Structure 1
Amino acid sequence: MNKPVVVTEETLAAPVVSPELPQAAADKAAASGPAYAVIGGLSVSHFLNDTMQSLIPSVYPILKANYALDFAQIGLITMAFQFTTSLLQPVVGIVTDRKPQPYSLAIGMGFTFAGLIMLSVANTFALILIAAATVGFGSAVFHPESSRIARLASGGRYGFAQAVFQVGGNMGTAVGPLLAAAVIVPFGQPSIAWFSSIAFIAIVVLWNIGRWYKPRIVTKKQAMAAMPEGMPTSRKIMIGLVVLALLSFSKALYTVSLSSYYTFYLMHKFGVSTQAAQVYLFVFLAANAAGVFFGGPIGDRIGRRYVIWLSILGALPFALAMPYAGLVSGTILVAIAGFIISSATAAIIVFAQELMPHRVGMISGIFFGFSFGVGGLGAAALGEVADARGIEFVFTVCSFLPAMGLIGFLLPSLPKNVGGKA
């Protein structure tokens, strides 16, 4: 049975090859390694995309003060962005599985650009919600197809490629609060428009990646023909996907509790300034990005099931201790918990893709969308809880979320020739 075509750096300028490669040719292509230029371009684009998107939660204190918003309304802004993304990403994935759209990435970046412009001039809560939803639409278009291209360019190192792609986004998310502290806090809401200029760089990069991808598209039919032998039964695949979804739920909700409300927690409990709180938030987000980077390659080597199980459950003791720690020690605990729990990010996506390799776009869309959806609904719910019971109560409850890692042992085994040691 033929394996899917694997693209390498040496083939960037090569003519289109037949999808019916002999087995020996496919093995040779895989052995030549990843297409680093493409993976790097995707990571840079993800960095630029998520830098712009991370400005939304970074300016929450400004929006809250300017328009007298309560925590529930702050949560609704997050929901407008993340829920829009969660609903549309699976749709985008299904569409691109059937008919890949190589230039959709550049188009999606255009919506992110437009959303930031709208957010910089929005003067009502309704307009803020529309701007956030527009940015969310751009994210919905960007993520599923980018994940597919990262897998195509991986040269068989799926965890590595997914981790490099993902860490670009995490680094962008981490940098956002620093930019907000340095620029938006002193210059106000209109300065958000300045950051939309970097969208042009991302559009150019993504347009060129689309040109690279177009002649190398692997159709759903070709992917199904390359399915390896020894895959789990349909029942075990469904159980595996449900387990991965539940683990994504615990990971996403714990992360969003910090990304959306950690600044308010620090200002309330320790009396730090808005700018100082943004710096502490950066520490957590930077640790999160580092965990994503290391988790993918480790999964390629020791097995994705072990990384998934250990990373989420391993964050539990640090998460439980954080609400009772001081400012410095709490920051250290948050950073450690963020590093550990985020190491499952690439492993979860790749494991899900390997369970259904003929529907990579749909699976990527569902899991990216599910994470955003959980984040959006979770942010709104946590905002309600914070208004009713206080911000410290929120973090006490959320500290138990990593305990859901206990169900990781239910994940099925995959054939040894699927990715790494799945």
Structure 2
Amino acid sequence: MNRRGVAMMSSAHMVDDFYQGVVPAMLPFLVSERHYSYAAVAGLTLAATMLSSVVQPAFGVWTDRKPRRWLIPAGMATAALGVGVAGLFPGYALTWVMIAISGLGIAAFHPSAASAARRAAGNSNRGMSIFALGGNVGFALGTLAATPVLLWLGLRGTALLVLPAIVMALILAKRLGPVLDGPVGARRPATMPSGRDNWPEFLKLTTIVMVRSIVFFGLSSFLALYFIHELGTSAEIGGAALTAFLAAGACGTLLGGGLADRFGSMVVIRYGFAFCIPAMVGLVLAPDWRVALVFVVLTGIGIFVPFSVFVILGQNYLPNRVGTASGVTVGLAVTVGGLFTPVLGTLADARGLHFTLMALVGLPAVALLLSAFLRAPAPAGPVRAAVPGPAGTPAP
């Protein structure tokens, strides 16, 4: 495992997904400052995910044909620009468009970044869990940083949040190639999975990731609002609950990678969903916000334990299409959950947030049932080593 490469890609993932975390943190402020309905703010979650869901597999196919690492800093910068501008103008239509553009940047980033991370991690679930952890930490930091900035400056404070992307993009432009490939004249070989593509199992995995995604987006969109409007807390505590959920998820992601290396991917996926069911039941039945916060942490661990396993498992199912597999498991299958968020928002407007969270409880059980039909990839032996190109030419 190229530890420096894994660390750099995890850091880049953290900065990129920082802007995914800013969006749900903005929602309570959009409700209070602009008086948007629950359905309207759910529509913004749709904006962040719809375009990304459609084009992310296309970016994956594109990067399978030829490495395009420039998409990593470019996608990150686009994600930051969209979020930064979204808070500056009051019109709903323009806000929706800018958040959609941010989603396009996220779509451009993930397939190339996941392929580069796999090059650095080799066959290590732990290595890929560190890459995935970067995204989870970034999402959590997005909410953690956005909430005080928005409390201080209001929605126009989103412009300040662009700075991390500018710094990280400059670092990547200078150091990404040498860190992943080695110095000029001493290129390190690229280790990637080998074998035949297994589309039936990959499609099963994709379905499971989609179900898990609906739960994740439902909780990340409405958890803060649930604490504020159903449990009677302040906006600060609502933001803290969302941050706790994502921070616990970061711990669950890292835990899942280590457990998968020891016990296998299937065990981690099934036990993760099994753990999530009682945790979510405890959340919706909690009598006050303090008890609910404990179950928020447990839910975050359970729903994120399988996440990094999905990434490397998808790449192992499609060893000849690592970019495509990454675009689907990290992108399409994850972000498609956001397409269901307006349905949840409409349900919340009609029946309340408590009823909506109760409806989400059954989905981890569905994912657990589906995972019973999933089979581990056949052992393919050592990963293949790609012959590096001429000096200055990046390997895949």
Give the TM-score taking structure 2 as reference length.
Answer: 0.89
1:49·1:202 contact (CA, 8 Å) conserved in 2? no
Separation (CA, whole Å) in 2 of partners of 1:94 and 1:163: 23
Please tell me whether residue 340 in structure 1 is matched to residue 302 in structure 2: yes
| Aligned: 1:409 with 2:384 | no
Q: Shift of residue 53 of structure 1?
A: 2.6
Structure 1 partner of 2:391 = none
Deviation of 1:140 (Å): 0.5
- Distance in 2, Cα, partners of 1:155 & 1:359: 15
| Match of residue 291 from structure 2 | 329
C-alpha contact 2:2 2:180 (8 A) present in aligned 1: no
Instruction: Please tell me whether the aligned partners of residues 90 and 369 of structure 1 are also in contact (alpha carbons under 8 angstroms).
Output: yes
- Counterpart position of 1:254: 215
- What is the CA–CA distance in structure 1 between the aligned matches of 2:146 and 2:346, rounded to whole Å? 25
Amino acid at match of 1:356: L
Kept in 2: contact 1:87–1:373 (CA 8 A) = no
| Alpha-carbon contact 1:144-1:365 (below 8 Å) kept | yes
Distance in structure 2 (CA, Å) of the matches to 1:151 and 1:267: 40
1:391 aligns with 2:357: no
SS of alignment partner, residue 411 of structure 1: coil
Q: What's the CA shift for 1:69?
A: 0.9
Query: Any conservation in 2 of the 1:51–1:173 contact (CA below 8 Å)?
Result: yes
Report the identity percentage.
27
Shift of 1:337: 1.9
Measure, in 2, the Cα distance between the counterparts of 1:283 and 1:114: 26
- Is 1:265–2:226 an aligned residue pair? yes
Counterparts in 2 of 1:419 and 1:65: CA distance versus 1, 3 Å: farther
For 2:137, the equivalent position in structure 1 comes to 171
C-alpha distance in 2, partners of 1:156/1:400?
Answer: 33
Cα distance in structure 2, aligned partners of 1:353 and 1:53: 23
Q: Which consecutive residues of structure 1, in runs of 5 or more, have no partner in the other structure?
A: 1-33
1:199 matched to which residue of 2?
165
User: Which 10-residue stretch deviates more, 325-334 or 356-365?
Assistant: 325-334
Quick check: 1:309 aligned with 2:270? yes
Matched, 1:89 2:52: no
User: Which residue number corresponds to residue 29 of structure 2?
Assistant: 62
Deviations 1:63-108 (A, max 9, x none): 1222221111111101111111111110000001011112211111
Residue deviations 1:349-404 (CA, integer Å, cap 9, x gap): 11111011010000110122223432321211110111111111100110111102
Question: Which of 156, 178, 182 is the matching residue for 2:123?
Answer: 156
Matched position secondary structure for 1:271: coil
SS of aligned partner of 2:372: helix
Amino acid at match of 1:90: P
Per the alignment, residue 289 of structure 1 pairs with 250
Q: Is this contact kept in 2: 1:102–1:214, CA < 8 A?
A: no
TM-score (norm 1): 0.84
Secondary structure of 2:87's aligned partner: helix
SS at match of 2:121: coil
5 Å matches for 1:7-18? none
Residues 1:145 and 2:121 aligned together: no
SS state at 1:410 partner:
coil
Contact 1:148/1:360 (8 A) holds in 2: yes
Alignment of 1:90-109 (within 5 A): 90-109=57-76
Aligned counterparts, 1:169-248, within 5 A: 169-207=135-173, 208-210=175-177, 212-213=179-180, 227-228=194-195, 237-248=198-209
Show the counterpart of 1:352.
Answer: 314
C-alpha distance in structure 1 between counterparts of 2:188 and 2:328, whole Å: 21
Offset of 1:218 from its aligned partner?
Answer: 8.9
Instruction: Supply the AA of the counterpart residue of 1:259.
Output: S
The residue matched to 2:67 in structure 1 has which SS? coil
8 Å CA contact 1:102, 1:213 repeated in 2? no
- Change in CA separation of 1:214 and 1:246 when aligned onto 2, cut-off 3 Å: same
Letter of the 1:122 partner, please give it: F
1:174-203 Cα distance to aligned partner (Å, 9 max, x none): 122222222211211111111101111210
**Bigger-Rg structure (1/2):** 1
* Alpha-carbon separation, structure 1, partners of 2:382 and 2:78: 34
Q: Relative to structure 1, is the Cα distance of residues 365 and 410 closer, same or farther in structure 2, using a 3 angstrom cutoff?
A: same
Distance in 1 between the 2:123 and 2:215 partners?
Answer: 31
Deviations 1:105-146 (A, max 9, x none): 111122123213311312200111111011111100111111
